[in-house]
């Protein structure tokens, strides 16, 4: 049985973290460099952006994780090190510096960056800060690390749960950042996960890839897939149970359940914290012919600019939902579709069989004015369903991105 626990990326025993300001960002009160360290060699895996334009740290981390092992995560905010002069050299250089300070191999380091594209990475600032960052490592340092990877985020994003495998308590924890340029096609933004589960690299990769598909890949804030997107995990095996060697092992499902719970919490937090957003929007599709169809339909609704702006105004313009379903590309019989809006303020059915119903506009506005709103869609065509997570589109999104660089 899963239990929510505090601690985020350092919830699992044997992991420490730290975050501090090294000088990349102008705001000296904002941490901009994060480090996570395991006390032993770990199985490691990652999923990466599918954008053809990829930041240098993606290539470096991909090479480092080729053997399925890792030990530490180093990430900075304020500079993406994407399309930047000397990008690969600089990514390798900070890995070498971190390895020297920590007494590790360069290939033990998972590295990533987030921030402005096209700007050279301030390598010297990172190198100078690494000794102090290493000295600050602690079990309590996860909160500082979560702050250090934020860009336009308004709040840190952390989650952790425990489960039981072979009578041993197993912990999965993580932290994420993401607010804008969020439209995943793997995992999106940055998410760093840790666990003391004993699991081989192969099944760990399988678990992460499928979990990302069902969580981060169902989030969209603005339809832009970043150059730096990465989700990475370190699994230390410190829980002490016999290792999970295959996805066919019954214990794999127990680990996967815990991993999914953490990733879903982080994914929803990203959608809730979308740039300029005032509410989390969930589209719940059921009655589809397949899970894939349901996912495609749900994502079409939460990415529709017209749906998003209607939700910002708490306008029950349900026709925009039906329109988005119609161009999603998945099989759909409009004459079988029902639509309802729900939140903590209640529930109202606005469409049945593809046609509008009379409904209380005042109640609908109250429902759509809450901090979390669910758009319920029943396709009436099968037994499958899926959810997607987004946010409304406000004036502030344009304000934030109109002067993001300057």
The predicted-structure confidence for 320-360, as pLDDT tens digits, reads as follows 999 999 999 999 999 999 999 999 999 999 999 999 999 99
pLDDT on residue 306 = 95
Residue 7 dihedral angles phi and psi, to the nearest 5°? 115, -20
Pair of tokens at residue 401: 């991105």
pLDDT band at 400 (very low <50, low <70, confident <90, very high): confident
Of 173, 181, 203, nearest in space to 263 by CA: 173
- Strand ranges (E), 205-359: 230-235, 280-288, 338-343, 346-352, 355-356
Q: Are strands 3-4 and 157-165 parallel, antiparallel or unpaired?
A: antiparallel
Q: Of all residues in the chain, what percent carry a pLDDT higher than 90?
A: 85
Is 266 strand, coil or helix?
A: helix
pLDDT band at 405 (very low <50, low <70, confident <90, very high): low
pLDDT on residue 181 = 64
The pTM for the full model equals 0.92
User: Does 30 have pLDDT greater than 70?
Assistant: yes
pLDDT on residue 73 = 98
Lowest model confidence (mean pLDDT) among 56-65, 99-108, 247-256, 393-402: 393-402
Distances, alpha carbon 36 to alpha carbons 5, 72, 148, in Å:
19, 5, 12
Better-scored residue on pLDDT, 297 or 184: 297
Residues 239-295: tens digit of each pLDDT: 999 999 999 999 999 999 999 999 999 999 998 988 888 999 999 999 999 999 999
C-alpha span between 137 and 313 (Å, rounded): 45
User: Does 40 have pLDDT greater than 70?
Assistant: yes
Domains of the chain: 3-272 (3.60.70.12), 280-402 (3.10.20.340)
* Mean pLDDT score of the chain: 94
Better-scored residue on pLDDT, 183 or 155: 155
Q: Of all residues in the chain, what percent carry a pLDDT higher than 70?
A: 97
Q: Which residues are catalytic?
A: 188
Residue with structure tokens 């589960």?
Answer: 197
- For residues 2 and 170, the answer to whether their CB atoms sit within 8 Å is no
Torsion sign (Cα): 135, 138, 140, 144: positive
C-alpha span between 239 and 165 (Å, rounded): 9
Element (H, E) at 17: strand 15-20
User: Does 186 have pLDDT greater than 70?
Assistant: no
C-alpha span between 363 and 369 (Å, rounded): 10
pLDDT on residue 42 = 98
CA 126 from centre of chain = 25
Residues 367-384: tens digit of each pLDDT: 999 999 999 999 999 999
Q: How many CB atoms lie within 10 A of CB 56?
A: 25
Pair of tokens at residue 405: 């660089």
C-alpha span between 206 and 126 (Å, rounded): 33
Element (H, E) at 201: helix 201-214
pLDDT on residue 406 = 63
pLDDT band at 185 (very low <50, low <70, confident <90, very high): low
pLDDT on residue 43 = 98
pLDDT on residue 378 = 98
- Please report how many Cα atoms fall inside a 13 Å half-sphere around the Cα of residue 333, on the Cβ side: 10
Lowest model confidence (mean pLDDT) among 141-155, 209-223, 314-328: 209-223
pLDDT on residue 183 = 72
For residues 146-167, average pLDDT: 95
Contacts of 403 (CB under 8 A, 6+ apart): none
């Amino acid at each position: 049985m899963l239990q929510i626990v505090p601690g985020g990326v350092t919830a699992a025993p044997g992991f420490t973290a730290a975050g501090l300001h090294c000088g990349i960002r102008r705001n000296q009160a904002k941490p901009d460099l994060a480090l996570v360290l395991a006390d032993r060699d770990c199985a490691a895996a990652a999923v990466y952006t599918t954008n053809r334009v990829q930041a240098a740290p993606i290539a470096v981390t991909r090479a480092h994780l080729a053997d399925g092992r890792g030990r530490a995560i180093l990430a900075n905010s304020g500079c993406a090190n994407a399309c930047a002069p000397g990008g690969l050299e600089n990514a390798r250089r900070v890995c070498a510096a971190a390895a020297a300070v920590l007494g590790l191999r360069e290939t033990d380091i998972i590295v990533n960056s987030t921030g402005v594209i096209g700007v050279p990475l301030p390598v010297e600032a990172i190198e100078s800060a690494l000794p102090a960052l290493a000295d600050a490592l602690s079990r309590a340092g996860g909160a500082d690390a979560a702050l250090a990877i934020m860009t336009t985020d308004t709040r840190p994003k952390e989650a952790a749960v425990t489960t039981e495998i072979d009578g041993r308590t197993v912990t999965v924890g993580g932290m994420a950042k993401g607010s804008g340029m969020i439209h995943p096609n793997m995992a999106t933004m940055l998410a760093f996960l840790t666990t003391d589960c004993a699991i081989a690299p192969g099944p760990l990769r399988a678990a992460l890839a499928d979990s990302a598909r069902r969580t981060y890949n169902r989030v969209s804030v603005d339809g832009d897939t970043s150059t730096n997107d990465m989700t990475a995990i370190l699994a230390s095996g410190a829980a002490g149970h016999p290792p999970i060697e295959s996805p066919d092992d019954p214990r794999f499902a127990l680990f996967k359940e815990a991993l999914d719970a953490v990733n879903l919490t982080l994914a929803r937090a990203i959608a809730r914290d979308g740039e300029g957003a005032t509410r989390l929007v969930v589209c719940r599709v059921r009655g589809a012919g397949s899970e894939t169809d349901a996912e495609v339909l749900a994502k079409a609704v939460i990415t529709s600019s017209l749906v998003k702006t209607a939700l910002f105004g708490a306008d029950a313009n349900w026709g925009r939902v039906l329109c988005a379903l119609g161009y999603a590309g998945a099989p759909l019989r409009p004459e079988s579709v029902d639509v309802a809006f729900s939140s903590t303020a209640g529930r109202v059915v606005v469409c049945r069989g593809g046609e509008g119903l009379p409904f209380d506009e005042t109640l609908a506005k109250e429902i759509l004015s809450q901090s979390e709103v669910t758009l319920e869609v029943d396709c009436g065509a099968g037994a499958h369903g899926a959810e997607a997570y987004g946010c409304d589109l406000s004036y502030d999104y344009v304000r934030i991105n109109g002067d993001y660089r300057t």
